[in-house]
Structure formats: structure tokens, C-alpha cells
Amino acid sequence: MKRFAIGLVVGLILSFIIGAGIWAMSVGLDFKTGPSDSAISRFCDYLYTSSVGMGIRESVWVFPIIEGTHLLGIALSVGVLCWFDLRLLGLVLGDEPVEKVWNSVMPVALVGFVLMFITGILLFWAEARTAFHSVHFWIKIGLLVIVGINALLFELTSHSKMHDWQDAASVPMRARMAGVISLVLWAAIIITGRTMAYTF
């Protein structure tokens, strides 16, 4: 319990630091999206002015329902993955085998990820033009790419060997680092997503 409390305090401190870092990046970056007649810009304008984009954006009910479902998807996917990351760090579920925790969280995380992905596309569709010119959006996309690379590296280097150390209270350093990076990046992604939403 003491280790969990320490981990919670450290997590809160890191969240504040990450939030400050994201804010500093968004303010300090000399951000330019490129020419407004570029292919990406024209595509974003097309999505923004399409009947689907306008319908989502101007609806009293559709947009908040999609955004609420998006947040639910984040809670399901990232929320349960955080438990696995914390298990890798030895802060929670120390008596549970790592592989058992993995098998328990992944089905829920997959459902959450599908919800998050589909609703994220719809939200982008509704605000494509605004997102294209938002530094927060591009920071978020960059962070998503990095977190995906981190997950892929974990799959290639650690997941296949999980059975060898699944009962250990302390897992190999490479796996622990993957857990730390995952926690930090997902915190940054969520913070960036919220700052992006409030600057639209």
C-alpha cells in the first residue's frame, strides 16, 4: 500500500510536469502548418465542410455523445493498461503473474481502443480544419506515434519472454522502462487532447 501511495504521488507530480511541458511546447514552438493550399489542408477542409463533418459539429446531441464515448474509450484502454504498466514497475498486483495481468487487461483495452479510435476519427472529421492549424493536435499525433513504437518494441523484445519472468516481483529493466515510457506518454497524450479541445 505504501509503494502504491508513493507511486500515486509520483504520478501526480509527473502529470503536472508533463502538463507544464506540453503547455511550454505549444507556446514556444514556432508552429506553421504549411501552405493552406497543400493536399493535407485541402483534405481537412473537405472533411470539415462535408455533410458528415457539419452534421457532427452542429448537432446538439451527436457531438457530445461521440466525445463522451471517446473519453470512455480512453478510460477503458488507457485505464487498464496503466494497471499493467504499474505491475511492470512492481507498484501494484505484485502477487499476480505478469502474464495473468496482461491477459486480464488486454480484452478490455482492445474494446476501449476500438471505441477511442473510431470516435477519434469522427471528432477529427468534425474539426479537421481547426485541428490542422492546432499545434496541440500535431503534438498529440507525434506522441501517439511514439507510444505506438514503444508498444511495438515491447511486443518484439519483452512480450515473447514474459513467461520466463512472469512470477517475479521485479521484471527486467527493458520491460520496466517500457512501462514508464507508456505511463508518461499516455499522460501527455491525454493532457494534450484536453488542451487541444479547449483551444478549438
Total of domains in the chain:
1
Q: Is residue 24 part of a domain?
A: no
User: Both ends of the chain: CA-CA distance in Å?
Assistant: 41
Tell me the pLDDT tens digit for each residue of 68-117. 999 999 988 988 888 888 888 877 777 777 788 888 888 999 999 999 99
What domain range includes position 163? 37-199
Q: Is residue 48 assigned to a domain?
A: yes
* 153 CB-contact burial (10 Å; exposed 0-12 / middle 13-18 / buried 19+): middle
User: Is 32 a member of any domain?
Assistant: no
Cell of 142: 507525434
pLDDT digits (tens, 9 = 90+) for 112-165: 999 999 999 999 999 998 888 888 888 889 889 999 998 888 888 877 777 777
